[in-house]
Chains A and B, each alone.
Chain A
Amino acid sequence: MYGCVGGERHRLCQRPCSGAALQSGSPAASAPALAALAKEDVPAWRATLLELLAPRASEPAVRSVLEAGLHAADPLERAAAVRGLGRISDSAPLLRPLLQDPVRLVRIDAAWALSTELPEGSPQRVELDSYLRLGLDQPSGLARLGMDLANRGRLDGAMVNLERASIRDSRDSELNLLIAQILVRQGKTAEAAERYLRAAQNRPDDAESAYRAALTFADAGLNSEAEKAMRLCLQRDPARHRAWYNLGLLLVKRGMIEEALEALSCAEQI
């Protein structure tokens, strides 16, 4: 508890402590951050706390502070609140008024969140497109434009930009995951599986991407590759019973009955 006693010192400690708790993924982690937010009066820190709470925007208490943040005096707070609520599907009516915000940062974040409904040629669409164009000399900017096009259903255009970004930064796992999702939507399952696998290979602890790679290889009928990816997943997360189950099903398809029964037994015992 060093440094966590008394007034200002307590508050100074709460900022990083609550942030670290949120990043740990603990289910109860929202409470300290919400408490810290209630006591915080520095707008930049309030915005940071809102940003950290954003992944939990579906929790009622978090949603409530994010909604309050939309009306904050400071634009950093408003922008953070917009980004947080942008993760929730039914938040559009709350975000629409922010398209008229006097501060560009807030308008851009609102336009990003509402991109799919912005009419072509509208001031908000033009402003967002102009902002997206500014970043095209960087992989992250290309990826952002690609994401926007994908969200609007323009999958071919999205792929062009995402592939360009990927050429410059082929080890970016998030980018590979995004490309994989689009390839699945385009029905290119074998290519999608390769991308999931690449994402998994670039993150040594990532069992989920290996699992997705395995399922997608299986969808493409590539059972040998699917088995390898499923084993990679299980190497990283041996307690994933669904992966043992799917490994069993894959092994049956390959005629490996005893190994399949063994995998299913593992699934059953977890």
Chain B
Amino acid sequence: MPDYPYASATILLQAGRKFEAANAINRALKVAPGFAPARALLGAP
């Protein structure tokens, strides 16, 4: 389920924890490489 780490990523980004957010995005993309919302977040951290 890529939306679980993706949700963590969005929370971490809002909290300014960019490194942890990047890890969460990578976990989401590992589960589903084409998961568009996570790919869209990639540029943010």
Give A contacts to B, CB under 8 Å. 241, 245, 248-249, 252, 257, 260-261, 264-265, 267-268
Contact = CB atoms under 8 A, between A and B. Distances in A.
Nearest to A249: B7
Nearest to B28: A268
B32 interface: no
Interface of B: 1, 3-5, 7-8, 11-12, 15, 27
A9 to B, nearest CB: 50
Contact of B11 (A241, A261, A267, A268): A261
A268 B15 contact: no
A229 to B, nearest CB: 20
Contacts, number: 30
B14 to A, nearest CB: 9
Contacts of B7: 245, 248-249, 264
A257 B1 contact: no
B8 A261 contact: yes
A245 B15 contact: no
A253 to B, nearest CB: 11
A252 B4 CA distance: 13
Nearest to A248: B7
23 contacts: A241-B1, A241-B4, A245-B3, A245-B4, A245-B7, A248-B7, A248-B11, A249-B7, A252-B11, A257-B11, A257-B15, A260-B11, A261-B8, A261-B11, A261-B12, A264-B4, A264-B7, A264-B11, A265-B8, A267-B1, A268-B5, A268-B8, A268-B27
Contacts of A260: 11
Contacts of A245: 1, 3-4, 7
B19 to A, nearest CB: 14
Nearest to B10: A252
A250 to B, nearest CB: 12
A38 B15 CA distance: 64
Contacts of B4: 241, 245, 264, 267-268
Contacts of A241: 1, 4
B26 to A, nearest CB: 13
B40 to A, nearest CB: 19
A44 B36 CA distance: 57
Q: Please provide the 10 A-B residue pairs with the shortest distance between their CB atoms, ordered closest to farther.
A: A268-B4, A267-B4, A264-B8, A264-B7, A245-B4, A264-B4, A268-B5, A252-B11, A261-B8, A257-B15
